[in-house]
Structure 1
Amino acid sequence: MYKMSSFTQLSRLSNYLIGGYKTAVHGRTFITTQVCNYAKSAEQKLGIEKPKRPLTPFFKFMTQMRPALLAKNPGITSKEAIAWSSKHWQQLDAETKAQMAKEYEKDLEDYKKIKEIYESSLTEEQKEDIKRVKEEMAAAKEKRKLKAEYAELGRPKKPMSSYFLYIQTRKDIFQGKHIKEYQKKMREDWLRLPESERVKFEKQAQQLMEKYRKDIEAWELKMISIGRTDLVRTKPVRVKKTANSKTKQ
């Protein structure tokens, strides 16, 4: 946490930061600098310039304070910076907060107008592209979330195929080679590999797969026991034919 050597120093820094922010507020400037680095939006991925929603009063305040805070304490972490800014936000006078809220409402009105113009300017093709990329991003996010959950719950990892087991033994030749060149070389060497050598890798892959099947079944039974059936693979249910059904046929 950021610490001052005395109450006087803390007050001086607080007054300096808040005073500087008052100047920015009364000058009514749009601050677009974000406190954190966020992932690209669908529009950014497509090279479409989308209007940015104005920062809320607190985030605008934190953004304005951040340069001076980092200058005074370069090694401060993001968590400490947020805590420090939150503390000073609570100490900020009501008049400045009210002015900031008023400016935010005005900025929000301007943003809504600009957003309407932006949305009406999009072609049908651009709208479809944005929708598609958003769906892809949502699917990728869910996949990452599921992967992290699998790792946390200790889900067994699927073993490598015989080909990739072979590649593991040839890592030494990768040095100095381009990835595509390396992959081409590995593929050619694998196809030229004598049958007697290839069988060794195939047998190893088969043994690893058999172990994986047992491990994954045990893991899924554990997931069922703790109520996480959503993580269990869906298996087709085989309907047994009765004597009546055979007769009808």
Structure 2
Amino acid sequence: MAAALLARVFSSLPRPRYILSATCPVDKWFSKYVSSDNRPKKPLSAYLRFFVDQQPIYRKQNPGLGILDITRKIAFDWKELPSSAKQTYETAAEAEMQLYKEQLAKYKAQLTPAQEKALKEEKMQKMEKRRANIKKRKLAMLGKPKRPRSALNIFVAEHFQEAKGVSPQGKLKYLFDEWKKMPTSLKQAYLQLAEDDKVRYKNEITSWEEHMKEIGHEDLVRYKSKRQILTERTKK
């Protein structure tokens, strides 16, 4: 449990860059660590070029407006902009798009089948991560109850501020060590709080899921096994 929590903390730290050594074949290294970061960047559209040009001006002229209001104003002005004025942005966008297509063709031509497969997998992972983030925000907006905390989580949260250690990782390590040395009798209070939190979560998630069914969000309800469904039917 402690190792899992520590792993989550360290996973948020920047990962070291891979260094290509003289003994590592270039093709093998690239096929393993190839990234879409090397792919040519798609140029801005004509409207986005106009937006980038105008946003600093609008913000300076309207210091009291929020970003959404400024965005709406720029979008409205672009819509009302004469075709002759739009032509400058459209011509630049078309020229860069042509250059982008040429660079993209060269980029794809140098890829091996293994590298293409690696890039496709990376793209799928990014899409899955994006979908997961969208779902996470959706659940937060719909007020999904927070999962129950473990006894160790509660202990760490309660003593994190006064824990010894310069960095967050140092504080966590100190608290993990303290938790391991703590007698079971002293841990009992945290174990009881964890049990109470499980009961809280069970009650809240059941009520929340019933509400999700009522408002048409059955997709957000936890998956139930056939055994669970049969047990519920038997009880009814």
Aligned equivalents of 1:61, 1:238: Cα separation in 2: 59
Question: Which gives a bigger RCO, structure 1 or 2 (Cα 8 Å, sep 6+)?
Answer: 2
Aligned: 1:157 with 2:146: yes
1:85 to 2:74 alignment: yes
Give the distance between the partners of 1:116 and 1:162, measured in 2 at CA. Answer: 55
**1:194–1:153: structure 2 CA closer, same or farther, 3 Å change rule?**
same
Change beyond 3 A, Cα 1:95–1:185: closer
Structure 1 stretches of at least 4 aligned residues deviating more than 6 Å after TM superposition: none
Choose from 192, 207, 225 the match for 2:214: 225
- 108 and 181 in structure 1: CA distance in 2 versus 1, 3 angstrom threshold: closer
The answer for the alignment partner of 1:141 in structure 2 is 130
Of the two, which has the highest radius of gyration? Answer: 1
**Alpha-carbon deviation of 1:123?**
3.4
Q: Which residue of 26, 40, 61 corresponds with 1:51?
A: 40
Asked if 1 retains the 8 angstrom alpha-carbon contact of 2:46 and 2:93, the reply is yes
Offset of 1:236 from its aligned partner?
Answer: 0.9
Q: 1:91 to 1:48 in 2, by over 3 A?
A: closer
Question: 2:86 — aligned with what?
Answer: 97
Structure 1 portions without partners, runs of 5+: 1-44, 242-249
> Aligned in 2, Cα 1:117/1:75: closer, same or farther, shift over 3 Å?
farther
Please report the TM-score for the alignment, with normalisation by the length of structure 1: 0.67
1:47: how far off? 7.1
What is aligned with 1:117? Answer: 106
Given the two structures, how large is their TM-score scaled by the length of structure 2?
0.70
Aligned to 1:212: 201
Gaps of 5+ in 2: 1-33, 231-236
- Give % identity: 24
Please tell me whether residue 237 in structure 1 is matched to residue 208 in structure 2: no
Calculate the aligned-residue CA RMSD, in Å: 3.0
For the structure 1 residues 78 and 169, does the alpha-carbon distance in structure 2 shift closer, same or farther, using more than 3 Å as the test? closer
